[in-house]
Amino acid sequence: MKKFREYLSLKQKFRSISIRVLVMLLGVRLLFWLAIVPPANAAPCRMIGTQTVCISEIKRSAKYPWEYRVTLSRDGVKQPQEILNCRDAKQFSLQGNRRPVNSEAGAVLFQTKETGEWICRLVKRN
């Protein structure tokens, strides 16, 4: 009986040590992964014609949920911010940082239809 108790005591000590080692190994692995893996900063890009078009920044309007303020870069050159209206397939440039008073005055159908449709498809997916 005494040997059996010693055996159980050793078994419990071994189990607690193995659990500690396992937790430490997992912790070290997690820290290693967090330290080595850089954050993803990839901008969605697409080849349209001969240009590479990337979305630099995109914000959804709270007041008009079908509109997005988009800053694109074409072949690495940042473009001025535009508003895309995904409901009516229109886009217009901002006057300074403000929305035009008469939004229909500066509105045009998507200048490059493929770009506007691509952005609207992209945001509808998410």
**What is the mean predicted confidence (pLDDT) over 15-25?**
76
Residue with tokens 């895309």: 84
Average pLDDT of every residue of the chain:
75
pTM of the model as a whole: 0.56
Domains of the chain, by residue range, sit at 1-37, 45-125
Query: So what's the pLDDT on residue 108?
Result: 54
115-125: pLDDT as tens digits: 888 888 888 86
Measured at the alpha carbon of residue 68, what is the angle toward residues 94 and 101, in degrees to the nearest 5? Answer: 35
Q: Are 69 and 94 in contact (CB under 8 A)?
A: yes
**Rounded-to-10 torsion of CA 19, 20, 26, 28:** -170
59-105: pLDDT as tens digits: 988 888 888 888 888 888 998 888 888 888 877 776 555 555 455 55
Q: Are 38 and 102 in contact (CB under 8 A)?
A: no
- Beta-strand relationship, 51-60 and 90-93: unpaired
26-39: pLDDT as tens digits: 877 777 777 775 66
